[in-house]
Structure 1
Amino acid sequence: MYWTEFATVALVHLLAVASPGPDFAVVVRESVARGSHAGRWTALGVGAGILLHVAYSLLGIGLLVSQSVVLFNLFKWLAAGYLLYLGVRALRARPAPIELGTPSGLAAQSAWRSFSVGFVTNGLNPKATLFFLSLFTVVIDPQTPLLVQAAYGAYLAVATAAWFCLVAWLFSRARVRAGFARMGHWFDRVTGAVLVALGVRLALSELA
């Protein structure tokens, strides 16, 4: 009896996740610079960030954030600051060949770092907070059992991670990475400019 509601949730999510934003930018950057392993872990971090949004939406904390200018601005400035940090680091990139392999000794550290980048980028995004709040209050009927809503949330997290794993796979192909090898620092700088622009845009955003 919830298939129609689920289909609506899935469609809205598809339109949202396919729209380029901070998540897309960091997954692409990790994939091109460090390969598919790092890209996949970044994608999984983004998916885990979705679970965070789903959890507090179900608990009603998202409603509190949406109604509190102070809390909204706190999340906004934390997210904007993190995006600016990532962007400035990328803007300072120097010419260096992109290695097509990942040293096995750094695998665990790289996985945790990449996962953290994806999780923090998505988890601190107040726009995602408002998106999931509207999703769980407007699209999903309040009478829908919490267990069913939690199942929706699990799907959203898995679908998001799967989408960005596909993005990571595409941008970590040897041919694609080889194309960036000679101009990798310029790609980093362009990505950095995008992240800085997203950070500034987020910092100037208002609570709807």
Structure 2
Amino acid sequence: MYWNEFALVALVHLLAVVSPGPDFAVVIRNSVSAGHRAGLYTAIGVGSAIFLHVTYSLLGIGLIVSQSVWLFNLLKLVAGAYLLYIGFRALRAQPASADQQVSKQRSMSAAQAFRQGFITNGLNPKATLFFLSLFTVVISHDTPLLVQAGYGVYTAVATGAWFCLVALLFSRDAVRRGFHRMGHWFDRMMGGVLIALGLHLALSQWFKRG
């Protein structure tokens, strides 16, 4: 009965999850610099944060946030500040020898990787808007709450699976060797991307006013 609606939810989610953004940048950076284990835990953190968005969307908190300008702008500032923090740390990367690179690969714990993925997605205001629109526009109000929760579980699992694939791809030895030839410049490049994303989130409300 709800297969057509589920197919629409899956399509909209697919288009959203494959588009590059903070989650994509963090998963790639951790996969390349710290290996597949860190990349996978980062991906799992991103997927787990989806449950946060689904929960407040079902409870209606997302609607409150979206209609409170100051609260939504505060969320943008916090998310932007976190991305700036990660980005500036990456910009400080220094050249390393092969032995140091091996040591660096093991420097990120599973908890650190998971936390980065969870916070990056959890604080992303674009995810707030996406799930708010998903549960108010795409999904019918007549759809039972249990079915809506099932859609939420699907989006969380699908998001985690997608970023696990990204992590496995970018942590492959051949891919990592290619990135490691750039050494610290790769970290600095990804740091620049994260800083740009952070500034975009933090300053987007002023851009709209202009």
TM range (shorter): over 0.9
TM superposition score normalised by structure 2: 0.93
AA in 2 matched with 1:99: V
Name 2:79's counterpart in structure 1: 79
Could you tell me which residue of structure 1 aligns to residue 152 of structure 2? 153
1:182 maps to a residue whose letter is: R
Output the CA distance in 2 between the equivalents of 1:206 and 1:155: 32
**Distance in 1 between the 2:58 and 2:129 partners?**
13
Give the corresponding residue for 2:33: 33
Aligned to 2:6: 6
Question: What are structure 1's unaligned runs of at least 5 residues?
Answer: none
Q: Deviations over 1:52-87 (max 9, x none)?
A: 000000000000000001210111111000000011
How far, CA to CA, are the matches of 1:101 and 1:40 in structure 2?
A: 17
Out of 87, 98, 102, which is 1:99 matched to?
102
Kept in 1, the 8 Å contact 2:72–2:125? The answer is yes
Q: Report the residue type matching 1:172 in the other structure.
A: S
2:88 corresponds in structure 1 to: 88
| Whole-angstrom distance in 2 between the partners of 1:20 and 1:100 | 29
Q: Any idea what the Cα deviations from partners look like across 1:134-168, whole Å, max 9, x if unmatched?
A: 00000000111110000000000000000000000
Deviation at 1:102, TM superposition (A): 5.4
Relative to structure 1, the CA distance from residue 101 to residue 70 in structure 2 (aligned partners, 3 Å threshold; closer, same or farther) is closer
Question: Once the two structures are superposed, what CA deviation does each residue of 1:12-62 show, in whole Å capped at 9, x if it has no partner?
Answer: 000000000000000000000010000000000000111100000000000
Question: Do 1:79 and 1:124's aligned partners in 2 also have CA atoms closer than 8 Å?
Answer: yes
Mark the CA change 1:66 to 1:133 in structure 2 (over 3 Å): closer, same or farther.
same
Q: Distance in 1 between matches of 2:61 and 2:205?
A: 19
Contact in 2 for aligned 1:31/1:172 (Cα 8 Å): yes
Match of 1:202 in 2: 201
Which runs of at least 4 in structure 1 moved beyond 4 Å after TM superposition?
100-103
1:170 is matched with 169
Deviation at 1:205, TM superposition (A): 1.7
* Residue-pair matches, total: 204
2:120 is matched with which residue? 121
Task: Please provide the CA RMSD for this pair.
Answer: 1.7
Query: 1:141 aligns to what SS in structure 2?
Result: coil
Is the 8 Å Cα contact of residues 32 and 180 (structure 1) preserved in structure 2? yes
C-alpha displacement at 1:100, in angstroms?
Answer: 8.4
Maintained 8 Å contact 2:77/2:202:
yes
Give the 3-state SS of the residue equivalent to 2:109 in structure 1.
helix
The residue matched to 2:205 in structure 1 has which SS? coil
1:182 pairs with 2:185: no
